[in-house]
Chains A and B, each alone.
Chain A
């Protein structure tokens, strides 16, 4: 059974704070790690697809790192804004299906 775990479960920060969350996944038979952002009443939106150990990707104020040997990925948000409030999901690609973590729910207060 493939377990993908995310922490923390939820996070409340003030506007302007930087924050980060963790995704851990089994390192054996690793193919890719996906990060998604899911805002209430909207579809999950892909942020990053990462495959190589040591990969670092960036999109605006959001960045992610990947360590496939130890089985973890970090997502960083620099200078959080209220519009960053969402649930952030990571998922490990197992053969051809994504196994999702339960997500980190981020709330950014103005």
Chain B
């Protein structure tokens, strides 16, 4: 496909379980970003990849959150021992290079019961 894709589109999980969210960026885009939007909040930066390395992880809310990117392409965001406050829409974006226009995926809506 031509755009950024994310899976799953919706995820409902129980408190304490681990979840993995996937992002497939646009082919050839070197930069990849994760954001989240909690209810009533703006888009919050989580982490950014340039290639497979993450120069900026400053937005990850706690050590329960981690992300990796392999082959300069697919990225996974893992949340361990989920809490109710992790419920949000998690958005992934990619760009051709650092600082250029970002293209967003449709998001994963995570609900932690």
Interface size of B by CB at 8 A reads 27
Complex Cα distance, B56 from A49, in Å, reads 22
Interface residues of chain A: helix, strand, loop or mixed (majority): strand
- Residue from A31, A42, A97 in contact with B106 in the complex, judged by beta carbons closer than 8 Å: A42
Q: Does A95 contact B (CB under 8 A)?
A: yes
Q: Tell me which of A53-61, A73-81, A100-108 binds B.
A: A100-108
**Residue of A44, A91, A95 contacting most chain B CB atoms (<10 Å):** A44
Q: Does B4 contact A (CB under 8 A)?
A: yes
Complex Cα distance, B91 from A31, in Å, reads 23
Complex Cα distance, B101 from A91, in Å, reads 11
Q: Can you sample 8 A-B contacts with CB below 8 Å?
A: A43-B3, A43-B107, A95-B56, A97-B59, A98-B33, A100-B35, A100-B43, A100-B44
